[in-house]
């Protein structure tokens, strides 16, 4: 599920609109353009139990007490644009939580790289030895 986009059905999302804060002229005072999307992780039908556990563990600080994820958007002046952006944001958050981190495999320097480093150390050492000889 980490490689492809999560498709969240509309019936699993709860939308709430409210007045947006900040500048925007008369529009901001009259229209409910801010959108909050609520996604119930525990009762979701698109996630299996393992995915639910991962999301609950990784997004614990963002979830409510009843394991609901709330994402808000007030970037745009229209409710529709904010709604679409909030859903996109929610999808990205869930995908990020489900993405498996890359496993770090320790590497060793190549034989050539080791030789080159030792050769540089040796030449630097010789240069410093020659300087010491001049000071006597």
Where residue 51 falls (left for φ over 0; alpha for ψ -120 to 50; beta otherwise) is alpha
pLDDT tens track for 84-126 = 999 999 999 999 888 888 899 999 999 999 999 999 999 999 9
Q: 108: which residues sit within 8 A by CB, 6+ positions away? A: none
On the 0-12 / 13-18 / 19+ scale of CB atoms within 10 A, 84 is middle
Helix (H, G, I), strand (E, B) or coil at 14: strand
Q: What is the pLDDT of residue 108?
A: 94
Backbone angles phi, psi at 118, to 5 degrees: -65, -35
Overall pTM surpassing 0.85 (yes/no): no
pLDDT tens track for 18-70 = 887 766 666 666 777 889 999 988 888 888 888 888 888 988 888 889 888 89
Q: Say if residue 2's pLDDT is above 50.
A: no
Which domains, ranges and CATH numbers included, belong to the chain?
10-98 (3.30.160.20)
């Amino acid at each position: 599920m980490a490689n492809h986009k999560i498709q969240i059905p509309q019936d699993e999302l709860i939308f709430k609109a409210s007045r947006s804060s900040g500048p925007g002229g008369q529009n901001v005072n009259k229209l409910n353009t801010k959108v909050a999307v609520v996604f119930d992780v525990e009762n979701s039908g698109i996630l299996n139990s393992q995915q639910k556990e991962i999301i609950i563990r990784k997004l614990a600080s963002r979830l409510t007490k009843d394991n609901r994820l709330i994402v808000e958007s007030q970037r745009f002046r229209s409710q529709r644009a904010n709604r679409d952006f909030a859903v996109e944001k929610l999808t990205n958050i869930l995908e990020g939580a489900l993405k498996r981190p890359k496993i770090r495999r320790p590497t060793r320097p190549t034989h050539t790289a080791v030789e080159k480093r030792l050769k540089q150390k040796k030449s630097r050492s010789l240069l410093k030895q020659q300087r010491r000889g001049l000071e006597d």
